[in-house]
Amino acid sequence: MKLYLTGEPCSQQRHCYYVEGSNVSFIVDCGYQRCYAGDEIPHLTSEQIRSARYLFLTHSHENQSGGLMHLLTNGFTGRVVLTAETAQQIHIPIDDPIILEGLSLPFTETELPGGLHLIWGRSGHCLGSAWFRIRAGEKSILFSGDYYPAARIHATDAIAGVHADVAVLDCDYGTQSADTREEQLDALVHAISEAIKDGRPVLLPVPTYGRGLGIMACISERLPDVDIFADEPLRRELSQLDATAMWVRPEAGTLLSSLFVRPIPEEFVALGVYLISDPQLDEPESLILLRQLLICGARVIMTGTVEVGTYAASLMHSGNARKLRYAVHCTQEEMLAVAAQNDFGRIIAYRSDYAPTQSVYEI
C-alpha cells in the first residue's frame, strides 16, 4: 500500500489522505481550508478521486469534510463511511452511505467489500467523531481523526492495544505542555469573570459541533450566576443530547441536561456570555451581533484556531479580540502517551517531532 498526504500544504488545518492498495483504494477525510486562498481543496488527482472505492470521514468539521461536494462532483462514485451523527451534521445528501453504528460496535473488526477490515471507535472530539484502523491484507493504517482522550464532554473509545504499520495521529497543539491545560481553563474563566464584573458582555465564537458544549458546561459549573446565550445551532445541539447520548460521557450528559441556555436577544444586549457557531466570524449575522456587543464594551475571546484572512484574524490584529485556548486536541506529550499504549510501526503527527517529511509513504 501507499499513503498519499494529499492535504498539502501538510498541516493539521486540512486533512485528506489517499491510500492506494493492490485491490482497493480509499480516501480518509477531505478537508477544506478557506484561508488557503485559491488552494482550499485537497491535492487529490482526478484519477485518485475516481478510483477510490471508499471515503472515510472522521467527523463533520470543515477541515475534515468540507471538500466532500468537490469529490462528489468530480468523479467520486464510491461509498462514504461515517457515523449517523456526522451524516446528519454535514447536510449533504449522500447516496447509500455506510453508517458505522449499523455496521459494527466500536472495537469490533468487520470486513467491507473489497477486502478492507475496519475497526472504529469514538474519538472524543465532537458529536459523531470517530477514529479508524483500516487493514488490507497484512498491512494496516490507523487514522486517529482529532482523537482527544482527555475530553471532558465527548465520549471516547481508547486507542489501546492496537497494531498498525502506520498511525496518523492528532497532534494539533505540538510541543505545548499538557500541564498547562488547567491553567488555560483558569485563564478563560478568569477573563469571563472579570469582564462580567466590569459590566461587559463576552462573545465566544465556536464551531457548531465541538468545544461549545464544553465551554457552556464550564461556565455553568464555575460561574453559575452568569447568564449564557447561544445561537440556534448550539441550542439545538444541546437540546438533542438524548438522541446523541452515545457520544457524550454520562456525567457530562447529566450536567448538560440541567443547563439553561437562553436564545440571543434581538432587540437589546444583556449582560452575559454569548456563544455563536461561527468560529471565524464570517457570517453576516455574526458581524451584526458583534457590532452590537462591541458598542456595549464586549470582550471577544477566541478559543481555537484563528485562520488567516478571516474577520476573526482582523479582530485579533486590531486588538479587539484575544485568544484563550479551550483544549480539544492532543499535544505531542499526549500523542506519545497514546502511541505508547499501541504497536505502531511509524507515526505521522503534524506540528510535532514526528511531522511528515514526505508526501508519499510506502507501507
- What is the tens place of the pLDDT at every residue in 271-313? 999 999 999 999 999 999 999 999 999 999 999 989 888 999 9
At 76, is the pLDDT very low, low, confident or very high (cuts 50, 70, 90)? very high
Please report the pLDDT score of residue 37 as a whole number: 67
Q: Which domains does the chain have, with CATH numbers?
A: 2-173+329-362 (3.60.15.10), 178-323 (3.40.50.10890)
**Residue at grid coordinates 487514522:** 143
Query: How many other CB atoms are there within 10 angstroms of residue 264's CB atom?
Result: 20
The rounded distance, in Å, linking the Cα atoms of 60 and 151 is 17
HSE (side-chain half, CA atoms, 13 Å) at 246: 14
At 35, is the pLDDT very low, low, confident or very high (cuts 50, 70, 90)? low
- What is the tens place of the pLDDT at every residue in 185-225? 999 999 999 999 999 999 999 998 999 999 999 999 999 99
Please name which of 329, 337, 311 lies closest in space to residue 210, comparing C-alpha atoms: 329
Q: For residue 293, give the H/E element and its range.
A: helix 284-295
Q: What angle do CA 261, 58, 70 make, to 5 degrees?
A: 100
**Across the strands, what pairs with 19?**
3, 26
Full-model pTM: 0.94
Contact 237, 212 (CB under 8 A): yes
Amino acid letter, residue 117: H
Query: How many other CB atoms are there within 10 angstroms of residue 150's CB atom?
Result: 15
Amino acid letter, residue 244: T
Please report the pLDDT score of residue 250 as a whole number: 93
Please name which of 333, 134, 340, 206 lies closest in space to residue 216, comparing C-alpha atoms: 206
At 9, is the pLDDT very low, low, confident or very high (cuts 50, 70, 90)? very low
Contact 310, 282 (CB under 8 A): yes
Contact 355, 349 (CB under 8 A): yes
Question: What is the distance between the terminal CA atoms of the chain, rounded to a whole angstrom?
Answer: 5
The rounded distance, in Å, linking the Cα atoms of 137 and 22 is 10
Please name which of 10, 124, 15 lies closest in space to residue 63, comparing C-alpha atoms: 15
At 125, is the pLDDT very low, low, confident or very high (cuts 50, 70, 90)? very high
At 179, is the pLDDT very low, low, confident or very high (cuts 50, 70, 90)? low
The rounded distance, in Å, linking the Cα atoms of 156 and 271 is 35
Q: Using omega within 30 degrees of 0 as the cis cutoff, is the peptide bond preceding 9 cis? A: yes
The rounded distance, in Å, linking the Cα atoms of 200 and 302 is 16
Please report the pLDDT score of residue 178 as a whole number: 65
Mind giving me the DSSP string for 107-136? T--EEETTTEEEEEEEBSSSTT-EEEEEEE
| Count of positions (residues) in the chain | 363
Mean pLDDT of 26-40: 82
The rounded distance, in Å, linking the Cα atoms of 102 and 117 is 16
Mean pLDDT of 66-88: 96
Please report the pLDDT score of residue 12 as a whole number: 47
Please report the pLDDT score of residue 229 as a whole number: 98
The rounded distance, in Å, linking the Cα atoms of 156 and 151 is 8
